[in-house]
Amino acid sequence: MRLKNKVSIVTGAGRGIGEIVSIYLANEGADVVVSDINLDAVTQTAEKIKALGRRSLAIKADVTKSSDVEQMVSSTMKEFGRIDILFNNAGIVIFKPLVDLKEEEWDAVINVSLKGTFLCSKAVAKIMINQKSGKIINMSSGAGKIGDKLYVSYSAAKAGVIGFTQALAKELGPYKINVNAVCPSIIHTKMMEKLDKEVGEIEGVPEGKVYERFIKNIPIGRKGTPEDVAKLVAFLASSDADYMTGQAINIGGGLIMS
């Protein structure tokens, strides 16, 4: 087990990629603090982790609020005494043409994906600097590299995450803290089902056609799974990735290659 006795925090862990990554880290030996705005969902994730024989703590937290983030980190330190891994996974997406996108919708997407990553990283970095070790892994997206129509706010937020990752990697490198980003493309989650439905409605195409269009352009020939992402996150969280930092790594079957 590559992460035996490591302590990790995963945000947005109530479902989808966050849930699967949390369980995967536990399978690799980590104790996992799972947070989400949905306490019921994240409590279920914590129970699955405990069933694997690892310790877990479920915390309700809004990553856009510094008070919630500080409480999450404080509770983790009180329970476990250290933080080795942070996976900034929390994010939302709104699919709309720019001219229809409301200011508050733009703010909501930017705040969760980008501000949330900033607040959580800042709080955890203080701990990791004292430890002189740690792994911070940020959830970006293929949309942060190439952008796409109908989700300008999401593309902007995820591009910001990449820039933040690179800057923070340089800042924290001297403390033996690695900072990297993962950039999934078409991963089968509720978010991608939302993309297929809502973008299809805007474009006037039947359900399934948006998904189909994307998959046609994937060299591997299939949509990804949360498990595909979890394997990459676990690698970046482990000592196998000690010489990697400041990277924004594509995980999308070859859909994006730069």
SS (H, E, C) 55-81: CEEEEECCCCCHHHHHHHHHHHHHHHC
Whole-model pTM? 0.95
Specify the DSSP class assigned to residue 240: G
234/50 Cα distance (integer angstroms):
18
> Could you report the per-residue pLDDT of 29-41, keeping only the tens digit for each?
999 999 999 999 9
Average pLDDT for the chain: 95
Nearest residue to 183 (alpha-carbon basis) of 119, 76, 82, 255: 255
What is the C-alpha separation between 29 and 1, in angstroms, rounded?
6
Q: Which amino acid is at 96?
A: K
Query: Can you read off the two tokens belonging to residue 119?
Result: 């607040």
Matching residue, tokens 């978010």: 191
Per-residue confidence (pLDDT) for residue 22, from 0 to 100: 98
Q: Compute the distance between CA of residue 183 and CA of residue 229 in angstroms, rounded to an integer.
A: 9
154 is catalytic: yes
Q: Identify whether the C-beta of residue 100 lies closer than 8 Å to the C-beta of residue 149.
A: no
pLDDT of residue 235: 98
Q: Which two tokens stand for residue 19?
A: 């849930």
Maximum alpha-carbon separation in the chain:
54
Catalytic residue among 151, 154, 211, 243: 154
Tell me the chain's radius of gyration from C-alpha atoms: 17
**For residue range 71-82, what is the model confidence (pLDDT) as tens digits?**
999 999 999 999
Average pLDDT over residues 161-184: 98
* Token pair listed for 148: 């796409």
Residue 169 near residue 126 (C-beta atoms within 8 A): no
The answer to whether 192 and 212 are in contact (CB under 8 A) is no
Question: Which strand (E) or helix (H) includes residue 134?
Answer: strand 134-139
Cα–Cα distance between 88 and 136 in angstroms, integer? 8
Q: What is the mean pLDDT of residues 189-215?
A: 77
Separation of alpha carbons 96 and 201, rounded Å = 11
- Residues 225-230, mean pLDDT to the nearest whole number: 97
Given CATH 3.30.420.40, say whether it is the number of domain 7-185+225-251: no
Q: Residue 84's pLDDT is what?
A: 98
Ramachandran area for residue 204 (φ above 0: left; ψ -120 to 50: alpha; else beta):
left
Per-domain boundaries in the chain: 7-185+225-251
For residue 161, the model assigns a pLDDT of 98
**What token pair was written down for 161?**
């995450």
